[in-house]
Structure 1
Amino acid sequence: MFIASFITGSFQANCYLLAREPGSDCVVVDPGMGAEEFLGEALKTHHLTPVAVALTHGHIDHVGSARQVGDQYGIPVLCPRDDRHLLTDPMAALADFARPLIEQCYGSTTLREPEEVVDVEPFSHHEYADLDLEFLHAPGHTPGCSMIRMVDAQFGPIVMSGDVVFAGSIGRTDMPGADPAQMSRSLSDVVWPLDDSTHLLPGHGGPTTMAQERISNPFLNRTVSSDFH
């Protein structure tokens, strides 16, 4: 398994490249605002060929370059079904303070969809770049928020956790479209059951493991503890 990453935009979101090995096909995960500026060099450095874009959710800091990347390379954009509307209407999930930034970057707050969008159903599997991508539906941060799970023979389970869970924290639930009750259920029903050996690659910040978060993530532990008492 080969994974490369770089940080995009003012919100410092992680964009990941997933491949079996350097010099092979890859999946681009969460190409956020301005990602196209760095993607070409990363692909060239690692001799990768993009065959799909995969999105963990619809927030603009994770999908801001999805159309540009998808259309430039002629590849499908896999988007959680319940977040598809955010590809064209980013303000539906943002506070008004973000409007000037969106208008500055895109010239409008109404965007155009990628040419090819694949609606991702909850807990569905999709195969690209010789990888089996399982979309674990974990709403709360957004209605379609998902984590992308893979299993590698060498490294074991790997989860691109998007904005569901970070090292020491969880995704915000105070934004338009967010739901704290849904987030609590996602943490207890989807995140908590993950195996301790699971490597978590979040949408922001550095990597962690499920074993570490089970011990040290106060938000995860508080939510799960309250569900059982």
Structure 2
Amino acid sequence: MVAVVLIASFVTGPFQANCYLLAAAEGSDCVIVDPGMGAMETLPSGLAAHHLSPVAVALTHGHIDHVGSAREAGRRYDVPVFCPVDDRNLLSEPMEGLADFAAPLLMEFYGSTSLAEPDEVIDVAPDSHHRLAGFDLEFLHAPGHTPGSSMIRLVDAEHGPVVLSGDVVFAGSVGRTDMPGGDPAVMATSLEEVVWPLDDATHLLPGHGGPTTMAAERAANPYLHAPTR
């Protein structure tokens, strides 16, 4: 376990997605989690404010609002991009995970609906562990929002488990399943088998909106239920 003393976050892009910086201390190595569309407008100043040195980019899933700046961040800081293997196609073909309404927005941002992959992509296998910036990051595979959707879990020696839940679970809600690649039945299984068993003390840091805890979501999130089988 590592005593996490710094988890910084900021909101990026038209979909107001959260980008996180994970570090053990000011002035240390860090992991950039989910640098979405427009993240490079804020990311350099966030890193500088805490004197952080990126060693990797980690993605919870492949939707453009979470990966839109992954290539630029990886190239600028010369670090690999860790992507759930089942969502790797979305790094270069984002429309495979989006509805048609998003095409004009991608054209506005990137001048194309197809993108170049980051220079170095590390395929993340379901439920695998990766040692980055001193953390043991566990990618909990929780598909349904996208085929590769994952939650990134680490354990803080003082505060207990922390889960960056991507678009799997939010405060009071869960991820949508009506986009290409989404599957409501698969999501229901993920919520029962991956999310529900999380310890009540788990701090949840979602891909959109504010932080919450598993205890709060178990008590009040209408989409979470104990397994029925």
Cα deviation per residue 1:170-207 (whole Å; 9 max; x = unaligned)?
00011111000100000000000000000000000000
Q: Which residue of 1 aligns with 2:19?
A: 15
Asked if 1:213 corresponds to 2:217, the answer is yes
Q: Does 1:170 align with 2:159?
A: no
Deviation at 1:155, TM superposition (A): 1.0
Query: Which amino acid in the other structure matches residue 53 of structure 1?
Result: V
Task: Give the TM-score of the pair, scaled to structure 2.
Answer: 0.97
Unaligned runs of 5+ residues in structure 2 are none
Match of 2:199 among 172, 195, 201: 195
Match of 1:87 in 2: 91
Secondary structure in structure 1 of the residue aligned to 2:123 = strand
What is the aligned partner in structure 2 of residue 25 from structure 1?
Answer: 29
Q: 2:183 aligns with which of 179, 183, 187?
A: 179
Q: Decide which of 42, 53, 59 is 2:57's aligned counterpart.
A: 53
Question: Structure 2 counterpart of 1:80, which letter?
Answer: P
More helix by percentage: 1
Q: In the comparison of the two structures, how many residue pairs are matched?
A: 225
Over the aligned positions, Cα root-mean-square deviation in angstroms equals 0.8
Residue 3 (structure 1) shift: 0.2
Aligned mates of 2:90, 2:70 — CA distance in 1: 12
Deviation at 1:101, TM superposition (A): 0.2
| Distance across 1 between alignment mates of 2:214 and 2:69 | 29
- Identity over the aligned pairs, expressed in percent? 70
Q: Any idea what SS the aligned residue of 1:220 has?
A: coil
Q: Which residue, 77, 80, 85 being the options, matches 2:81?
A: 77
Spell out, residue by residue over 1:6-36, the C-alpha distance to the aligned partner (whole angstroms, 9 max, x if none): 0000000000000001110000000000101
Output the CA distance in 2 between the equivalents of 1:132 and 1:94. 31
- Structure 1 stretches of 4+ with a deviation exceeding 4 A read none
TM-score (norm 1): 0.97
User: How far is 1:66 from its partner?
Assistant: 0.2
1:228 matched residue in structure 2: 228
1:117 to 99, 121, 134: 121
Measure, in 1, the Cα distance between the counterparts of 2:162 and 2:83.
19
Alignment partners' CA distance in 2, 1:146 and 1:33 = 19
Q: Say which of 137, 152, 163 aligns to 1:133.
A: 137
In the alignment, the residues of structure 2 paired with residue 24 and residue 130 of structure 1 have an alpha-carbon distance, to the nearest angstrom, of: 10
In structure 1, runs of 5+ residues without a counterpart are none
- Deviation of 1:220 after TM superposition, in Å, equals 1.1
From 141, 147, 164, the equivalent of 1:160 is: 164
